[in-house]
């Protein structure tokens, strides 16, 4: 092998290692706890809004579950999702914001279920729109799961017979 070829090989290795560092085939590391939330963390505001949304939706299901007991499973899904989001906040040293007071639910069960279906559809769209801004791939995966879950709920609520 001549000197030029050796130089080319060395340069190639350097270029390739530069291209792949940090995004190679290694598994994405799990989030590690930090002592306090960093205001520079771009995912923090999103996670806070997701925690609020999931807990608010869970709260909105309470009157619907009384009317349609089968919807209990959907409320449980929101509680599980809220827990997952709060876990992401905890490892960042942040806490979930308080859930805002919910508007009074309509008395008519059909209107109640229809309102929930609309709320789930809107929330799914919000999750999808936010994905472009997410920095941490694990948070992006969670956001995609929340969007898919909200779409499932909207689908069921549009066909369920109250």
Least CB distance from residue 36 to another protein, whole Å?
Answer: 27
CB 116 within 8 A of CB 60: yes
Least CB distance from residue 35 to another protein, whole Å?
Answer: 28
CB 113 within 8 A of CB 162: yes
C-beta atoms surrounding 138 within 10 Å: 15
Pick the closer one to another protein by CB: 67 or 93. 67
CB 93 within 8 A of CB 58: no
Binding site for another protein (CB under 8 A): 4, 7-8, 11-12, 15-16, 19-20, 23-25, 28, 68, 70-74, 76-77, 80-81, 84, 124, 127-129, 131-132, 134, 137, 140-141, 143-145, 147-156, 159-160
d(CA 49, CA 123): 11
Pick the closer one to another protein by CB: 94 or 143. 143
């Amino acid at each position: 092998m001549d000197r030029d070829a050796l130089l080319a090989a060395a340069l190639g290795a350097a270029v390739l290692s530069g291209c792949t560092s940090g995004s190679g085939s290694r598994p994405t590391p799990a989030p590690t706890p930090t002592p306090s939330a960093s205001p520079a963390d771009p995912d923090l505001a999103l996670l806070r809004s997701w925690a609020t949304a999931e807990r608010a939706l869970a709260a909105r299901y309470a009157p619907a579950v009384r009317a349609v007991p089968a919807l209990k499973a959907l409320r449980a899904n929101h509680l599980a999702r809220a827990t997952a989001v709060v876990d992401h906040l905890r490892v960042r040293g942040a806490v979930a914001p308080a859930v805002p007071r919910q508007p009074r639910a309509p008395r008519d069960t059909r209107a109640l279920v229809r309102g929930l279906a609309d709320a789930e559809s809107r929330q799914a769209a919000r999750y999808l729109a936010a994905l472009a801004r997410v920095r941490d791939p694990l948070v992006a995966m969670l956001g995609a799961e929340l969007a898919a879950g909200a779409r499932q709920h909207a689908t069921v609520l549009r066909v369920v017979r109250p």
